[in-house]
Chain A
Amino acid sequence: MRQEVVLALLAKEPSHGYELRARLREALGPLGEAMNAGQIYVTLTRLEKAGLLAVETSADGGDRPDRKVYALTADGQQRVAEWIAEVAWPRPDLAEFHLKLVAAASAGLADPLTVVDTQRRELLRRLHDAQRAAIAATAQEGAALLLEGVVLRLQADLRWLEACERHWTRRRSGS
């Protein structure tokens, strides 16, 4: 998982590691069960070293990792904002995009529908080009077949974006 996912979960408020894990589990459901508990602490340590987050230790806690409270630094906030605006295709990581919408909405970083629109623009531009190329390549069967694969994958991703749009529209209208 991208480090930025963990970082973005802190955008709403400083949190304990176990709170971050709970948020990830809630956002990912059964898919989140595959994550091991240590992974998130390794990532947090790395992000701390990179200066993207700072650690506050709770009064009662001592030095145990689950007593630390993590907060974004200014650099960390900057990195999260960049990540939200970034369009990751041709290798769409579905979980990453899903968590981006969750983080954007919960921390009020961006309107999830705007993030969906941005992604859709990119995919439609590629579909536009892939279809033109497919029509131009009609005479070359092999090339046309490969382009058909591209078109079908783009269509699948676009349909999923429609589902994301419906979900976040419902959430926004508060029902």
Chain B
Amino acid sequence: MAGGVRKTLDPSKEWIVSDTAGMPVLRARDLRKEYGRGEGRLFAVDGVDLDVAAGETVAVMGPSGCGKSTLLHLLGGLDRPSGGEVWLAGDRIDDLSERALARLRRTAIGFVFQSFHLMEELTAVENVELSALLAGRSPRTARRKAEELLERVGLADRARFLPSALSGGQRQRVAVARALINEPAVVLADEPTGNLDSAATLDVLRLFEDLHAAGQTLMIVTHDARIAATADRLMTMRDGVLVDETRLTGGTTGRLGALVGLED
């Protein structure tokens, strides 16, 4: 079961067949989501095959309305597919009961959203520990882990601040800490830099690079080229279909000099 994308597509493109030795952390097969019926039927996701290997960062780019957010929601169990399969760490999850799925979302998947989704009445550390408490950890363990994670995202001194007292970039870093607290198999990020200015984007970029270096499996959907460019592998989505795929690593290092006029 080699991964990658549908083989029926244009052979001139750089299709990559994932040669993941072990099992992919995240896998989709012929994944579909349709809305409406008959003539007005709309395919938001129209037959996506996808493998994300352990420790890999994968980005999906595409114009707005191409179905990339819907795809992420299907992969994270936030939405039910109309057809196809989703596998997480070797288990099929698209056919789970609502209850089992909710449990899985709390423990095995970390979410990062464009608009942070923090609880405004809770402090940074309370926002982060909440997910651990909901997953059944003891208050002491939850607090300790939350403080460790805030330290890791560079916000140890902001732990007692309410979200309203934090900048956009800081809020997103709190959200990333929250996503990590239950040591999820995969972190799914939907436009994580969509609401951030350039400096804050750079902070989130650095954080994602750190997570990647630490072996965290990450999937990002975005139209921000900067965050997409942190990925090992990039896919392009159009009209609900993955139409292009490329590996970003190991390409041009050493040729950067040409970009600043130092060589031809």
Query: A114–B10 contact, CB under 8 A?
Result: yes
Of A128, A153, A162, A169, which is within 8 A of B229 by CB? A128
Residues of A within 8 A of B251 (CB): 125-126, 128-129
B230-249 with Cβ < 8 A to chain A: 230-231, 234, 236, 238, 243-244, 246, 248-249
Count residues on chain A whose CB falls below 8 Å from chain B CBs: 32
Q: Is the CB of A129 within 8 A of B205?
A: no
Contact B206 A135 (CB under 8 A): yes
Chain A residues lying within 8 Å of B209, measured Cβ to Cβ, are 132, 135
Partner of A129, one of B225, B226, B234, B256: B256
- Chain A facing B: main interface SS: helix
B229 touching A131 by the CB < 8 A rule? yes
Check: A133 CB closer than 8 A to any chain B CB: yes
Is B253 part of the contact surface with A, judged by Cβ < 8 Å?
yes
> Please, which residues of chain A bring their CB within 8 A of the CB of B243?
117
Tell me the residues in window 1-58 of chain B with beta carbons closer than 8 Å to chain A beta carbons. Answer: 10, 12-14
CB <8 Å contact, B249 and A128: yes
A109-123: which have CB < 8 Å to B?
A: 111, 113-114, 117, 120-121, 123
* A121-B246, A135-B205 given; A149·B260 CB < 8 A: yes
A113, A127, A146: which contacts B225 (Cβ < 8 A)? A127
Q: Are A158 and B256 in contact (CB under 8 A)?
A: no
Are A129 and B260 closer than 8 Å at their CB atoms?
A: no
Select one of B10, B248, B256, B259 contacting A124, CB under 8 A.
Answer: B248
Q: Say whether B228 faces chain A, with CB atoms less than 8 Å apart.
A: yes
CB distance from B250 to the nearest CB of A (A): 9
Which residues of chain A are within 8 angstroms of B249 by Cβ–Cβ distance?
Answer: 128
A75 to B226, CA, bound (A): 40
Contacts of A130 in B (CB 8 A): 256, 259
A154 and B256 CA atoms in complex are apart in Å by 12
How many inter-chain residue pairs (CB < 8 Å) link A and B?
A: 77
Give the size category of B's interface with A.
20 to 34
**Which residues of chain A (152-168) have a CB below 8 Å from chain B?**
153-155, 158-159, 162, 165-166
Query: Whose C-beta in chain A lies nearest to the C-beta of B12?
Result: A114
Q: How near does chain A come to B156, taking the closest CB pair, in angstroms?
A: 20
CB pair B252–A125 under 8 Å, yes or no, is yes
How far, in whole Å, are A121 and B251 apart by their CA atoms in the complex? 10
Q: Which of B63, B223, B248 contacts A125 (CB 8 A)?
A: B248
Bound: A111/B229 CA distance, A: 24
Residue among A124, A132, A135 with the highest chain B CB neighbour number at 10 A: A124
Q: Does A151 contact B (CB under 8 A)?
A: yes
Is B100 positioned at the interface, with any CB of A under 8 Å from its CB? no
Alpha-carbon distance between A167 and B250 when the two chains are bound, in angstroms: 32
Contact partners of A153 in chain B: CB under 8 A: 259
Residue A105 is within 8 A (CB to CB) of chain B in the complex: no
Chain B residues within 8 Å of A131, by CB: 205, 226, 229-230
* Interface contacts beyond A121-B246, A132-B209: sample of 10 additional A-B pairs, CB < 8 Å, sorted by A: A114-B10, A120-B236, A124-B228, A127-B226, A128-B229, A128-B248, A150-B256, A155-B226, A159-B225, A169-B63
A-B contact pairs, 30 of them (CB 8 A): A90-B258, A113-B238, A117-B13, A117-B236, A117-B243, A121-B234, A121-B244, A123-B225, A124-B248, A125-B248, A125-B252, A126-B256, A127-B226, A128-B231, A128-B249, A128-B251, A129-B251, A129-B253, A130-B256, A135-B206, A135-B209, A146-B260, A150-B256, A150-B260, A151-B226, A154-B225, A154-B259, A155-B225, A158-B225, A166-B63
